[in-house]
Amino acid sequence: MASPAVVRRLGKPAVFLAALLPALLLVADTLRDRLGANPIETITHRTGWWALTLLLVALAVTPLRRVTGWNGVARYRRMLGLFAFTYVVLHFLTYLVLDQFFAWSFIVEDVMDRPYITVGFTTFVLLIPLAVTSTRGWIRRLGPRWQRLHRLAYVAAAGGVFHFLWLVKADTREPVLFGVALVTLLALRLRRRPRRAAARAPAAPARSSKPVEAAS
Amino acid sequence: MPIRRPADIRSSEITDEALYRDRRSFIRQAAGIAAAGLVAPSLLAACDRGRTAASEEPAPDDALTPFEDVTTYNNFYEFGTGKGDPAKHAGSLRVRPWTVTVEGEVAKPGVYDVDELIRLFPPEERVYRLRCVEAWSMVIPWLGFPLENLLKRVEPTGQARFVEFTTLHDPEQMPGQKRRVLDWPYREGLRLDEAMHPLAILSVGLYGRMLLPQNGAPIRLVVPWKYGFKSIKSIVRIRLVNRQPVNTWQASAPNEYGFYANVNPAVDHPRWTQKRERRLGEFRHRPTLPFNGYADEVGRLYTGMDLRRNF
């Protein structure tokens, strides 16, 4: 195992590169014409898959920290969340530009009438304030409200799961697995509730990007 | 006096010369493959007879979808639900020997070896648009013979009103059947008059070659005015029946997939629009045409029917 100092120094760049890798591979596959017969569909599916995956990875940080006692992992949470948002934006832009090419009438119809697009679009909108308020400044300004606001990440992940589930024709295995992962993470999180409620008494002003951990 | 053009040939559908020359290259390609013993000689002979069905030629802006795309982008859940899965996994399908049982409300039921069918009904080339219910489309040069030729041979009785088709059920050869994504075996159905329509073919090849397993080898249905899922693959049984059969996708989601499944831009899938489609290889969507552009030929089959209800 690498020493704590090395992890501290190289951890963030490593996570950054790892989270960027799917996008780099997508670019590489595009340049080499390796996206198959329906490239727009491939780009749409891959950006969407990674958006949901990284959102769940970001949500797994705190449970992982509690289960393993490895507190250092919390340092990566914001970066992972912002990468998840980045893939959501890429996914949305793929839809807007490559798939629809700004066919606004069809886009409006999609968002209004197609439940999986309604929930997907809502999820995208929901994540915008979370991305905007991810800075230290906003964490300080919002205080305890920051934590409540950022619980919306779970709602967004659920939105992502339903977006996926409602678009598949018959093979629901993958979206169901995402759903199971999300429910598991949520359960791990809620399990601590009673003890936390007792310890919460004076809600300490959030100083860091991980105010949920104030109780542990 | 108005001059009525023949219903079966539209000027827009007569193949341009470039496409025709291209056909010659398929035939050359086929000749090469036949030399390697991969193509039944009858298939080739039929192909070399040249154009037999001008009516089915798509308009000149319907360029053929490349062979590579036709054979690597497939929905064939028997080999997995990803578009690339059939090309990866369909090698486990044994396409010979292969028999097709024709039974039910017929005077002369029988079990036909697929090679016998090819001998009995020499395949001809048909260039058809294929519109998937998922809103993408291709243009494919099939080799096949009209389904009606086989049906007439077995002599449907007065009781026969529908035709039910069944795909092979063998999870060892079709590993996707190990998961119950759909209610195996895959089944499809047509009304008898639809099945007897000259545009409906049983296909045994494409691009001048034998069908590859991912495309439904060794024999499949092609009904170009209906969504792709109607064109059932790797058929082992054709049964003429009195009652309207339930097709697999209809059983899976009755509010989304009907029995008729005619391509219809006016009736959306509950979860996405059917007004337009992406032709593979094109960036912008194209409008989807009623009956996939074959309305002149098949529209009369549905006179007086509410196609919104019978989707």
Q: Which of A43-47, A116-120, A190-194 has the lowest mean pLDDT?
A: A190-194
What domains sit in chain A, N to C, each tagged with a CATH number?
A: 8-190 (1.20.120)
By a Cβ cutoff of 8 Å, what residues of chain A touch chain B?
A: 36-38, 40-41, 98, 101, 103, 106, 109-110, 114-116, 166-167, 169-171, 173
pLDDT, mean over chain B: 87
Cα–Cα dist A84/A94, whole Å: 15
Q: What is the separation, in whole angstroms, between the first and last Cα of chain B? A: 38
Q: Which of A59-63, B43-47, B101-105 has the lowest mean pLDDT?
A: B43-47
* ipTM exceeding 0.90, yes/no: no
Half-sphere exposure of B142 (CA within 13 A, CB side): 31
A5 — pLDDT class (breaks 50, 70, 90)? confident
Residue B43 has pLDDT above 80, yes or no: no
Task: Give the model's pLDDT for residue B131.
Answer: 98
Q: Which of B70, B75, B83 to mutate to test the interface with A (most CBs of A within 10 A)?
A: B83
Q: Where are the domains of chain B?
A: 11-302
Cα–Cα nearest to B247, from B236, B235, B259, B255: B259
- Flag whether residue B280 sits within 8 Å of chain A, measured between CB atoms: yes
Task: Give the model's pLDDT for residue A211.
Answer: 42
3-state SS class at B280: coil
Q: How large is the average pLDDT for residues A24-52? A: 97
Closest chain A C-alpha to B298 CA, distance in angstroms: 28
Q: How large is the average pLDDT for residues B206-223? A: 98
Do residues B212 and B71 lie in contact, with contact meaning Cβ atoms separated by under 8 Å? yes
Q: Check: CATH 3.90.420.10 for B11-302?
A: yes
Residue B39's Cβ-count burial label (10 Å; 0-12, 13-18, 19+) is: buried
Say if the Cβ atoms of B181 and A41 lie within 8 Å.
no
Q: How large is the average pLDDT for residues B112-125? A: 98
Say if the Cβ atoms of B271 and A110 lie within 8 Å.
no
Cα–Cα nearest to B297, from B128, B79, B84: B128
Cα–Cα nearest to B280, from A36, A168, A26: A36
Do residues B236 and B259 lie in contact, with contact meaning Cβ atoms separated by under 8 Å? no
Cα–Cα dist A82/A84, whole Å: 5
Closest chain A C-alpha to B181 CA, distance in angstroms: 6
A9 — pLDDT class (breaks 50, 70, 90)? confident
The dihedral built from the CA positions of residue B106, B110, B114 and B120, taken in this order, carries a sign that is negative
Task: Give the model's pLDDT for residue A121.
Answer: 97
Residue B259 has pLDDT above 70, yes or no: yes
